Every structure is written in C-alpha cells, then in structure tokens.
Amino acid sequence: MRISENMRYRLFQSCINKVGQQVTDIEKKIATQKNINTPSDDPLIFARSVEYDAQLSLGAQFNDNLQRLKTLVGMYDTSLSSIDSQLSTLSQMANGYGTADTSLRQSYVEELKGVIEHLVTVGNTKLGNTYIFGGQQADSAPFRLNNDYSVTYNVSAHGEDANSIYVDESQLGKFGLSGREALYSTSKIAFGSVSNAYQGDIYSNTDSFAYILTAANRTMYVNGAAVNLTAGTYTGNTLAQEIQTRLGADYSVAFDSSTRKFVITNNTAGPVTFNWSNAGATAAGVLGFDAVDSVTGAGETELSDLDTGRKAYMVKIAAGGATTGALASRATYSYSTDGGTTWSAAMSVSTGGADTTTGDIVIDATNNTFYRNGTAVTLASGTYTGAALATEIQTQLGAGYSVGYDASTRKFAITNNTGAVVTLNWSNAGSTAAGVLGFNNADSVVSNGTTDTGDYDAGMFIDGSGVPNATNNRIKIAFGTADTPLTANDSFQVKDLSIFEVLKNFKDAFEAGNSTWVSKNIGYIDAARSSTIKNNAIVAFEGTQAEMLIENNTTKKNRIEEEQSLLTGADTAQLGTEFTVLLNTYQTLLAAFSKMQSISILNYLN
C-alpha cells in the first residue's frame, strides 16, 4: 500500500512524543530516586510501596507519642521530686516540733501553708493546654485549694486514670501519671482527728482490705450466660484468679494494684459480651463495672470502670468513756461508709483483745470454728481477752500445741509441738474463726517446732462482726488500753492515704499546738514519701521504656526504608546514562522533524 506524507508525518510525530515521554519518566525517576512512582509502572510493587508508606506514617505517629511521653516523664520527675522535697521538709518540722519554741512553731504553720500551696501548683502543672495530672479530664485543673487549706480533687472517679496511647501497632501504653496516683495512695491509713480530746493510740489492719463475695454479689454474665464466682474472702489478686478460673482457659484476668481495677482479656476467637446491665450481674459493683454492657473483641481487654478499693470508714465516738473494762462501761462508737450520710448503731469500742481485765473478742456460733488437718476445731462461745482466747484455742487443739497472744501486736501464735507436720486449713469455707483470730484464708503448713502467727490484728471487725463481710471488708479498728478516755464526738478515719490530707492535718496540729498528735502521726509522712518514691520509679521506667521503643521504632523505620528502597529504588547512575542517550535522541528527532518537507493540501487530503 502507498504510505502517504500525512501518515509518515504522524508516525514521526508519534515517535517523537514517545521518546519525549520516556525522557520525562526518567527525569521523574531521577528526581524521586524511585523506579516505581505510579500504579502503571508496576501495580504489585506500587501497592507494596504504599503499604511501606503507611507503616512509616504509623511509626512516625508512634514516635511522636513517645517523644511527648518522654517530655511528660521529665515533667513528672521534676514534680515528684518536688513533692518528696516538700514532704522531707514536713518530716524535719514534725521531728523538731517537740523542742521548738512558740515562735518557731508558728513559722512552721506558715511554711506548711506555703508547702500546700506549692504542691497544688505542682498538681496543676500544664504542658501546653494539658494538665499533666488531670488524667482523662486533662482540660481542667485537677486540684483546688480551699480557704482552710484542704484540697479538693476535681477529677471524677471515671476520669482519674491516666490516658493510654499506642506506642506500637499492638502495644497500648500508659500515657503519664494521674493526680490520683501521684498524690494519693492505695494503702489505707487510720488516723484520729487533730481536734480529738482523746490522745491515745488507735490501731487498724489497714493493709488487709478484702473483697467479700456472697450469694448476693457473686454473679456475672458473659454472652447472656451466668458465671457464678465462689463465695469467699479475696485479695485483689486471688479474686482475679477466681474470675479466670470460672471464665475458663479462653480468658486471662489480672488485678492492677496501682489502680485497684480488674483487667479481663478475651482470648477467644471472636467478640464476647459482658452483660453488666443484666439485673442478675450482682458482681458488677464489687468488680468495679458500670451497669453497661461491654462488647470485647478477640484479644481485647475489659477494664473495671471504677477503683474497687476506694471504700473508706468514718468513726465517731457516740458516748465518751474508757477503752477498757466491762463492755457496758466503755465508750461507744458509730461508723459510716458513705461519708457521714448514714451511721451505724453505737457499739462498744474494742482493744482487739489487748484489755487484760475484761474481754472484747466475742466468739459465738458464727465464728467459732477452724480446721486442722481437715478436722473441725470448735471454740467455746464467750467473750474473751486475747490471752484467755489463746488458752481456749490451746485447750481445743489439745496436747502438742502451745498458743500465745501478743498484746502489743494483737496477734495469735500457734506453735506445733506434735512431732509431725500439721495443716491449719484457714481456707476451708467452714473456718469461720479465721477472721476474728487474724488469719488470712490461706492454709498454713506448720512443721514440728514451728509457729503460725496471725496475719493481722485479732478481734472484732469495724462493724462489730466476728467474720469478714461486704460491710467491713476485713477492716478492724481498736483503741489503746492505757490511754485517756474517749470523748463524745471524737472522730477517726480509715481511708486511702492522701498527701494533701496529711499536710492539712499536720498544719492543723501545728496550729493547735498538739504535739501528741504530731508525734503519733509522723509515720504517715514516711508512708507518703514511700508512695512518691514508688511513683517516681514507675515514671522512670516509663521513660526508659519510651526511649527503648523510640530506638526500636527507629530501627524498624530504617529497615522498612531499606526494603522499600530495594523494591522501588532507582539506579541513578544508570538512569543518568539512559537520560543522556534519550535526550540526545529526542533533540535529534526534533531537529529532523523541523526540516521535514511541509505537507501539501493534496497529500494531506490523500
């Protein structure tokens, strides 16, 4: 066939355009240093490159989070160091208070006011627009200083935990420290009001707070099916173990002692619904869950909504009187678990069995049994002193045992002299005497010649009961035997340690010149400092972990970039050579094209 001038022209023009496009493509590859820039270059490699870009973007976000956390860690370290320094100042003042003159004592009061004001400022520290101790309500100041130098914590129970952030695709990290963690403690303390007329000793087993499950509060629902926990007395960790046992092997359950919350992880293959809204889910309150159903995906966790151990007790003396002697002649007290809204009936104060003249440990049918080698040992009903009850225990155990009672620690000690190993089955559900005798519900294996000593104070619980229950949570309160009489309206509290409250009470004691109160409560300063030191160690660990994760993410970023470069990277030297050749060819074609004979109208029409 005849090739017309018009066709020749168009073919030549198409060739020039193709070479020109090749020049443009190579220019882009040289500029980006990538062989693959668009899906049309290679769809599979381009898709993989996009995945790499997404991973790099996520890694950059994770590192931004970690860098912010590192900044916060530095601020927390400074804040906690300041708290410890101020508590150290308080300790020096308290230890020197007894020998200080009136002028110096007054200066202590003013200095302590400054300490409280300073720590409120520390508690309200901001990073940008974020209050670093605000927890999940970080947009407003968490602490408010009142006119009487008490301090109000303005963060709700639902928002007091620190926020969490993703520090890796599969790792959720804690983002900082809440004000609750920094300036409060999960350790309970027992102290008397500074204004009390009573200057004697008070005792409480404040480290023995327990969770009590009964038929009325032991049920949870999962996927609509009831899960019944075993009734009993638990610590946070043992209750977590019980929950896991009842849920089965597809779940893992832990107790976070720093927040007193339970963490339930779903290890099944699909989502699970925890039916906390079910009217039969009576365990929800004990475990700290709101009455709202929660759908938890495979591998996800269900965390308590509220701190499960916040419970506090207020105690006030209803009628004044002695702490020893016949129960009918002693002072009486009432307690409140709702902040003073409602109060119990009045009952006689207790010495935990330390009164040697008249007993105050009541043994009856509800708390008279414990088990030895699986066999019940039943104590005779009655009201005992500690020493008398030790004698009764020894009598019922029989030959081969000696039992003592230490009035200074209010603890029983059972020594096995039988020549054989003996098991005291405190975990037996029938061991109703365990609580009143001060033994945890864990079996004790006692070798010949060894002693099983009480885990906490003997005597009646704060509600007058001889057994732990959901009201007393295994907490006791007892008074000294050689002290001034109690006076009506004297008040006491068993509650979580608060640094601000410790400071406020010492200020009030300094103002009142109450050196007795000061000397009896110095130990709480050390407890507060220990809590601060522990928090600083936790924060330091978070900082170290953040640095490690930043390093890991940087290593991962370098690896991804290297893999991406190998996959899409261009050989710039080779591209430069190709570019030179194509550019020369392109320029030559353009020159030739400009010299082509013009196409006539006739040839064009042909």
Full DSSP string of 351-372 = -TT--SSS--EEE-TTS-EEEE
Q: Is 541 exposed, middle or buried (0-12, 13-18, 19+ CB in 10 A)?
A: exposed
- Tell me the per-residue pLDDT of 124-163, one tens digit each, with 9 for 90 and over: 998 888 898 888 888 899 999 999 999 999 998 888 877 7
Which of 110-119, 128-137, 551-560 shows the lowest mean pLDDT across its residues?
A: 551-560
> Mind listing the pLDDT tens digit for each residue in 447-457?
999 999 999 99
Distance CA 481, CA 330 (A): 11
Please check the confidence at residue 549 and state whether its pLDDT lies above 90. no
Hey, CA dihedral for 380, 381, 384, 386, is it positive or negative?
positive
Structural tokens at position 335: 């307690």
Residue 310 in this model has a pLDDT that exceeds 80:
yes
pLDDT at 598 > cutoff 60: no
Q: Are 286 and 308 in contact (CB under 8 A)?
A: yes
57 or 85, which is more confident?
Answer: 85
Question: Tokens at residue 528, please?
Answer: 């507060």
The reported pLDDT for the residue numbered 597 is 47
Position 600 pLDDT exceeds 80: no
Across the beta sheet with 451-453, the strand order is 401-406, 411-416, 451-453
> What pLDDT, on the 0 to 100 scale, is given for residue 254?
96
Higher local confidence (pLDDT), 102 or 246: 246
Share of the chain above pLDDT 70, in %: 81
Question: To the nearest whole percent, how much of the chain has pLDDT over 90?
Answer: 63
pLDDT at 136: 84
Identify the three-state secondary structure at position 323.
Answer: coil
Taking 90 as the threshold, does the pLDDT of residue 316 lie above it?
yes
Distance CA 339, CA 138 (A): 27
The backbone torsions φ and ψ at residue 167, rounded to the nearest 5 degrees and listed phi first, read -105, -5
pLDDT of 33 above 90: no
Half-sphere exposure of 258 (CA within 13 A, CB side): 17
Q: Which two tokens stand for residue 169?
A: 């695709």
548 Cβ contact partners less than 8 Å away, ≥ 6 residues apart = none
How does the average pLDDT of the chain come out, rounded?
87
Instruction: Taking residues 572-579, report their average pLDDT.
Output: 60
Average pLDDT over residues 242-250: 96
| pLDDT over 90 at 9, yes or no | no
Does 604 have pLDDT greater than 60? no
The 10s digit of each residue's pLDDT in 524-541 is: 999 999 988 888 888 887
Whether residue 44 is predicted with pLDDT greater than 70 in this model: the reply is no
Contact 346, 319 (CB under 8 A): yes
* pLDDT(446) > 90: yes
Mean pLDDT for the stretch of residues 179-188? 89
Reading phi first (left if > 0) and then psi (alpha if -120 to 50, else beta), residue 374 is in left
- The pLDDT of residue 482 is above 80: yes
Answer yes or no: are the C-beta atoms of 290 and 305 closer than 8 Å: yes
pLDDT score at 599: 46
Q: What is the pLDDT of residue 293?
A: 96
- C-alpha to C-alpha distance for 203 and 462, rounded to whole angstroms: 11
Q: CB of 137 within 8 A of CB of 153?
A: no
Position 469, amino acid: N
Counting other chains too, the contacts that 339-348 makes at CB distance below 8 Å and 24 or more residues apart are: 339/312, 339/314, 340/314, 343/316, 344/463, 346/318, 346/319, 347/464
| Structural domains in the chain, sorted by start | 51-181+499-529 (1.20.1330.10), 211-303 (no CATH), 313-489 (no CATH)
pLDDT score, position 36: 58
- Least confident among 161-165, 505-509, 517-521: 161-165
Amino acid in position 375: T
Contacts of 522 (CB under 8 A, 6+ apart): 91, 94, 95
How confident is the model at residue 602, as a pLDDT? 45
Q: How much is the CA Rg of the chain, to the nearest whole Å?
A: 37
| pLDDT over 70 at 590, yes or no | no
453: its two tokens: 């000593």
Q: Using CA atoms, how far apart are residues 190 and 519, in angstroms rounded to an integer?
A: 15
Q: Mean pLDDT across the stretch 96-113?
A: 91
Higher pLDDT, 394 or 3: 394
* pTM of the model as a whole: 0.81
What DSSP line would sit under 54-114, residue for residue? HHHHHHHHHHHHHHHHHHHHHHHHHHHHHHHHHHHHHHHHHHHGGG--HHHHHHHHHHHHH
Rounded to an integer, what is the distance from CA 554 to the centroid of its chain? 30
Q: Angle, nearest 10°, between helix axes 572-595 and 5-32?
A: 150
Q: Is the pLDDT of residue 497 over 90?
A: yes
| Residues 479 and 486: beta-carbon distance below 8 Å | yes
Question: Which residues neighbour 66 within 8 Å (Cβ) at sequence distance 6 or greater?
Answer: 167, 546, 549, 550, 553
Among 300-314, 447-461, 549-563, the range scoring the smallest mean pLDDT is: 549-563
**pLDDT at position 246 over 50:** yes
